[in-house]
Structure 1
Amino acid sequence: MQTWRPPQKIHVKVLGLVWHGGRLLAAEVTRDDGTVKGVRPPGGSIEFGETREEALAREFREELGCEIAIDGPWTTFENLFWHEGAQGHEFIFAANIYLLDESLYRRPEITLVEHDRSVWTARWFYPLALPAGVELYPAGLAAHLQT
């Protein structure tokens, strides 16, 4: 079981919003006991000297092994959150993207491998119809999708 805590500094991240049949590709966010508390689109941290476009392309190459095409404007979120008693703080750039490996759209689950070798499973979710008790992260993304 993976135990994760947010770092105690501000992080700048990118997320790719991948759509298929009205569903959003997102990985499950779990509590320490393994229960699902939410889902979050794939992405990761922007490295020093990288543009957000470069960071998003790199994250998808690293985690999914595929290239992407950015489709549309960027949306920015400030995400102040708590996870298992630890506070996190992120600025997130999110954009709609296409996966250039079309075979990924036919998979019900996609394995994401992080740089630290942790493994996550992403699935296709209807973001505004998640099961009770499961939230869409980051905060503000669900409201943005309704506009």
Structure 2
Amino acid sequence: MLKEGEIRVLALGIVRDLAQRVFLSQGFDPDTEKHFYRAMGGGVEFGETSEAALKREFDEEIQAELTNIKYLGCLESIFTFNGKQGHEILFVYECDFVDPKFYHLSSINFPEKKRQKTALWVEIEKFKSGELKLVPEKFLTYL
């Protein structure tokens, strides 16, 4: 949820498979009427490390446990969503699912703040070619 004048701190996880796909959450901007894709994860709470937030968010959203968690870097993202400016600091991690069943699912629906969202496997090449939009765009360097 975007709050005016607030900088959000998020922890996001990149999970890849052997087929050159990445597991992402699909979003929709009602202002532009376009879909976009973003790594799974969420907000870091006060007193919580970004790695702990990453684990908690994956557990809360899709009941998935993570392993092989490796810190990749930090990004700053200033963007517009639904006609409002947003500002985020993103802690980026590479990780794997503990349960191999997640690598065989095509998608997972999950509730997030009064709306249904979908997480799915997407071919990395679709972002490199510009066919699909990854946010923030700088995130592509981690794929």
Shorter chain as normaliser: what TM range? 0.7 to 0.9
Which deviates more from structure 2 when the two are superposed, residues 18-27 or residues 64-73?
64-73
Counterpart AA for 2:58: F
Root mean square deviation, CA, Å = 2.0
**Equivalent position of 2:7 in the other structure:** 10
TM-score normalized with structure 1 length = 0.85
* 1:42-121 alignment, distance < 5 Å: 42-114=40-112, 116-121=113-118
Q: Distance in 1 between matches of 2:133 and 2:37?
A: 6
**Equivalent position of 1:123 in the other structure:** 120
* 1:11-26 alignment, distance < 5 Å: 11-20=8-17, 21-26=19-24
**SS state at 1:41 partner:** strand
User: Conserved in 1, the CA contact under 8 Å of 2:77 and 2:88?
Assistant: yes
Higher strand share: 2
Q: Distance in 2 between matches of 1:89 and 1:110?
A: 27
Indicate which of 100, 121, 138 corresponds to 2:136: 138
How far did residue 33 of structure 1 move? 7.3
Q: Cα 1:34–1:108, aligned 2, differ >3 Å: closer, same or farther?
A: farther
2:35 aligned with 1:32: no
User: Conserved in 2, the CA contact under 8 Å of 1:78 and 1:92?
Assistant: yes
**SS state at 2:16 partner:** strand
User: Conserved in 1, the CA contact under 8 Å of 2:31 and 2:82?
Assistant: no
How far did residue 23 of structure 1 move? 0.4
TM-score normalized with structure 2 length = 0.87
How far did residue 34 of structure 1 move? 9.3
How far did residue 91 of structure 1 move? 0.1
Q: Which runs of 5+ in 2 are unaligned?
A: none
Counterpart AA for 1:14: A
